[in-house]
Copies of this chain bind each other. A is one copy, B any other.
Amino acid sequence: MSEAAEKGKKAKNISMVLAKKTTEEKNKALLAIARVLLEDRETIIFENKKDLRRGSRAGLPENILDRMMLNEKRIHDMSEAVRLLVKLRDPVGETVEEIKKENGLLILKKKVPVGVIGMIYEARPNVTVDAATLAIKTGNAVILRGSSSSICSNQALVSSIHRALAETGFPEDAVQLIEDTGREAATEMFHLRDYLDVLIPRGGKKLIDTVVREASVPVIETGAGNCHLYIDETAQPEMAVRIAVNAKTQRPSVCNAIETLLIHAHWLAQHGEKLLSALAEKGVEIYGDEPVRKIFPAAKEAAEEDWYCEYLALKISVKTVEDTDEAIRHINRYGTKHSEAIVTEDGARAEHFMFMVDAACVYHNASTRFTDGFEFGYGAEIGISTQKLHARGPMGLDALTSTKYWIYGSGQVRE
Tell me the A residues contacting B by CB distance below 8 Å. Answer: 15-16, 19-20, 99, 101, 105, 107, 109, 114-115, 193, 197-198, 212-214, 216, 218-220, 236, 239, 242-243, 245-247, 250, 332, 354-356, 358-367, 369-371, 375-377, 387-390, 392-393, 402-414
With beta carbons under 8 angstroms apart, the residue of B16, B109, B364, B392 that contacts A332 is B16
State the Cβ distance, A324 to closest chain B Cβ, in Å: 13
Give CA–CA (A19, B360) in the complex, Å: 15
Determine the chain B residues whose CB is within 8 A of the CB of A243 once the complex forms. 411, 413
Determine the chain B residues whose CB is within 8 A of the CB of A220 once the complex forms. 389
Contact A393 B409 (CB under 8 A): no
Contact B388 A115 (CB under 8 A): yes
Scoring A99, A114, A409 by chain B CB atoms within 10 A of each residue's CB, the highest score goes to A409
Contact A389 B389 (CB under 8 A): yes
Can you tell how many copies of this chain the complex includes?
2
Give CA–CA (A355, B19) in the complex, Å: 8
Determine the chain B residues whose CB is within 8 A of the CB of A359 once the complex forms. 404
Contact B355 A242 (CB under 8 A): no
Determine the chain B residues whose CB is within 8 A of the CB of A389 once the complex forms. 114, 197-198, 218, 220, 389-390, 402
Contact B16 A411 (CB under 8 A): no
Determine the chain B residues whose CB is within 8 A of the CB of A411 once the complex forms. 236, 239, 242-243, 365-366
Give CA–CA (A356, B389) in the complex, Å: 26
Contact B413 A365 (CB under 8 A): no
With beta carbons under 8 angstroms apart, the residue of B214, B362, B367 that contacts A413 is B367
Minimum CB distance partner of A242 in chain B: B413
Determine the chain B residues whose CB is within 8 A of the CB of A332 once the complex forms. 16
State the Cβ distance, A40 to closest chain B Cβ, in Å: 33
Identify whether the interface residues of A are mostly helix, strand, loop, or mixed. mixed
Minimum CB distance partner of A114 in chain B: B388
Minimum CB distance partner of A221 in chain B: B218
Contact B107 A410 (CB under 8 A): no
State the Cβ distance, A350 to closest chain B Cβ, in Å: 8
Determine the chain B residues whose CB is within 8 A of the CB of A410 once the complex forms. 365-366
Contact A362 B407 (CB under 8 A): yes
Contact A366 B105 (CB under 8 A): yes
Contact B250 A409 (CB under 8 A): no
Determine the chain B residues whose CB is within 8 A of the CB of A16 once the complex forms. 332, 355-356, 358
State the Cβ distance, A70 to closest chain B Cβ, in Å: 25
Determine the chain B residues whose CB is within 8 A of the CB of A362 once the complex forms. 404-407
Contact A409 B99 (CB under 8 A): no
Give CA–CA (A299, B307) in the complex, Å: 69
Determine the chain B residues whose CB is within 8 A of the CB of A403 once the complex forms. 392-393
Give CA–CA (A210, B85) in the complex, Å: 40
| Contact of A99 with B370 at beta-carbon distance under 8 Å, contacts A16-B358, A355-B19, A413-B243 already known | no
Determine the chain B residues whose CB is within 8 A of the CB of A406 once the complex forms. 354, 362, 364
With beta carbons under 8 angstroms apart, the residue of B193, B393, B414 that contacts A369 is B414
| Contact of A409 with B364 at beta-carbon distance under 8 Å, contacts A220-B389, A414-B246, A414-B369 already known | yes
Contact B246 A388 (CB under 8 A): no
| Contact of A407 with B366 at beta-carbon distance under 8 Å, contacts A332-B16, A389-B218, A413-B246 already known | yes
With beta carbons under 8 angstroms apart, the residue of B355, B388, B408 that contacts A364 is B408
